[in-house]
Amino acid sequence: MSKPLPHAHPFDTALALSQDPSGHFSGHTNQAYWNMVGPFGGITAAAVLRAIMLHPQRLGEPLSLTVNYAGALTDGPFELQVTPVRTNRSTQHWTVTLLQNDADGAPVVSTTATAVTAARRETWSLSDTPMPPVPAPQTLERRVMFKGVEWLNRYDMRPITGPVPQTWDGGGHSSLSQLWMRDEPARPLDFCSLAAMCDVFFPRVWLRRASQVPAGTVAITVYFHAGSRELAAAGTDFLLGQAQAQEFRNGFFDQTAQVWSQAGLMLATSHQVVYFKE
């Protein structure tokens, strides 16, 4: 069982899970990470990964995580069904289903996920996408993108390029954003918090069109390039995040993101597909 410690960080409180004898986990949504109409998608992804990390059969560390947001998650308890479907010498494959009861008490699937954990071994390594030159986070001011969206208060975000448009006039010309980010209050980095931060980027369609149309993530995949040693080295430092779209078409678009440590090490990349409405 995982319980928040007294005066625990809000992130750890939101990810508090209990485990039953069958290996299933249960938790509860947390208003500290509430979005406009439900939980911040990053905290849902983090809860899925936390359940895998707590599973007694887990091999190695996270390599990839794909989360499919099948339906709205409401305020209340939820259950996570976590299954290691196959274990190989170096990799382990997982499926996760998140369920909530409907008004009649029947379980309904809200989120599905797959993941791969792996035993990392030292090999030839190369970074083919180096961290871009940007101003230090200490030279920039913290900004809150929108008032009244609670989860945004859980992060210290300092935009460099491509902030939320100040004027919604349809005059956007680029979908690229760069920002420094870290948990607020500061918290040592781990796989779950890294997964959540891969989803802090606002919808690229807002920036490219300078139009605040309805939008929501359908699915996100996070690839973890760093292990626990590299995450520990990052500590409570700021991380540099960069996101950009590639294609907008027929009500959907995709966006890619990269996350580096302040020391310039690539920690994770992500790719997501997002629904948008005219």
CA angle 255, 151, 109 (to 5 degrees): 70
Q: Is the pLDDT of residue 1 over 60?
A: no
Q: Domain residues of the chain, as ranges? A: 10-118, 137-276
137: amino acid identity, one letter: P
Q: What is the pLDDT of residues 167-194, one digit of tens each?
A: 999 988 999 999 999 999 999 999 999 9
10-118 falls under which CATH superfamily? Answer: Acyl-CoA thioesterase, double hotdog domain (2.40.160.210)
pLDDT, mean of residues 123-148 = 93
Tokens coding 85: 């479907």
Q: What is the pLDDT of residue 44?
A: 98
Q: What is the pLDDT of residue 4?
A: 46
What confidence tier does 20 reach under pLDDT thresholds 50, 70, 90?
confident
Rounded-to-integer distance, Cα 224 and Cα 117, Å: 10
Cβ count within 10 A of residue 137: 21
Q: Is the pLDDT of residue 5 over 60?
A: no
Q: Is the pLDDT of residue 2 over 50?
A: no
Q: What is the pLDDT of residue 103?
A: 86
Q: What is the pLDDT of residue 6?
A: 55
Q: What is the pLDDT of residue 269?
A: 98
Q: What is the pLDDT of residues 232-268, one digit of tens each?
A: 999 999 999 999 999 999 999 999 999 999 999 999 9
Q: Would you put residue 111 in left (φ > 0), alpha (ψ -120 to 50) or beta?
A: beta
Would you mind telling me the total number of residues written for the chain in this entry?
A: 278
137-276 falls under which CATH superfamily? Answer: Acyl-CoA thioesterase, double hotdog domain (2.40.160.210)
Cβ count within 10 A of residue 102: 10
What confidence tier does 59 reach under pLDDT thresholds 50, 70, 90?
very high
Rounded-to-integer distance, Cα 195 and Cα 42, Å: 7
Rounded-to-integer distance, Cα 213 and Cα 236, Å: 34
Rounded-to-integer distance, Cα 222 and Cα 35, Å: 20
pLDDT, mean of residues 24-28 = 96
pLDDT, mean of residues 9-33 = 94
Coil/strand/helix, residue 171: coil
pLDDT, mean of residues 107-116 = 97
Q: Do domains 10-118 and 137-276 have the same CATH topology?
A: yes
Q: Is the pLDDT of residue 148 over 90?
A: no
pLDDT, mean of residues 95-123 = 95
